[in-house]
Amino acid sequence: MRPKTFIPTVQRRLAATAIGPSTLRGQGKGVLKASQRFLSALQLGCIPRSNEAGFRRWLDRETDRLLNGLPIKGRPWGAARKGINLFLRDSLYNQYLTRHFRITELERWLEIPLDRIVAQGLKSEAGRGNLPPWPGLKYLTSDVNEEFQTFAAACARKMGFHRVHLDMYLWLKKR
């Protein structure tokens, strides 16, 4: 039997490793630590699992909550969303959190964590003019995010998996 603190400790460690210094570089002073604290306390057991619309409302609400907790004036929506998406993806890849919070039930709805490298890869796959210009993480809006997410879902479906996993292929292509 594990101590009661095991799962919260795993979540806290994952928040620190999923969102490292390079992940949110240039987003503002204190954004990294505030994001890690937020993700450490994220209520993974309260994520709606009955339908995609409920999950998306939860994701939007949590993105706003994270933004409201950042210690800067600007609201880098893209940075907040990337942080949550990276954390959820890494939670899916962690056997303890996945089992405890039934995260595999969310896999088909999880977004691809967007950044410059992933956006470039998606734009390359889409062909010239089929996706909007990449505004940079700091200036990413929910509308532009949605266009990239929709394309990523279609692209991943053709490859036989969910869009959350496409990040690995696009990121590694640039290495």
Domain parsing of the chain, residue ranges = 6-109, 116-173
Q: What pLDDT, on a 0 to 100 scale, did the predictor assign at position 10?
A: 97
Q: What pLDDT, on a 0 to 100 scale, did the predictor assign at position 24?
A: 77
Q: What pLDDT, on a 0 to 100 scale, did the predictor assign at position 1?
A: 62
Q: What pLDDT, on a 0 to 100 scale, did the predictor assign at position 21?
A: 83
Q: What pLDDT, on a 0 to 100 scale, did the predictor assign at position 44?
A: 97
* Ranges assigned E (strand) in the chain: none
CA-CA distance, 138 to 28, in Å (whole number)? 9
CA-CA distance, 27 to 76, in Å (whole number)? 7
pTM over 0.85: yes
Q: What pLDDT, on a 0 to 100 scale, did the predictor assign at position 22?
A: 82
Nearest alpha-carbon partner for 75 in 23, 132, 27:
27
Divide the 175 residues of the chain into consecutive groups of 10 and give the mean pLDDT of each group.
Answer: 89 94 78 93 96 97 94 85 96 97 97 94 93 94 97 96 93 75
Q: What pLDDT, on a 0 to 100 scale, did the predictor assign at position 136?
A: 93
Residue tagged 């950042």 (tokens): 70
CB 78 within 8 Å of CB 31: no
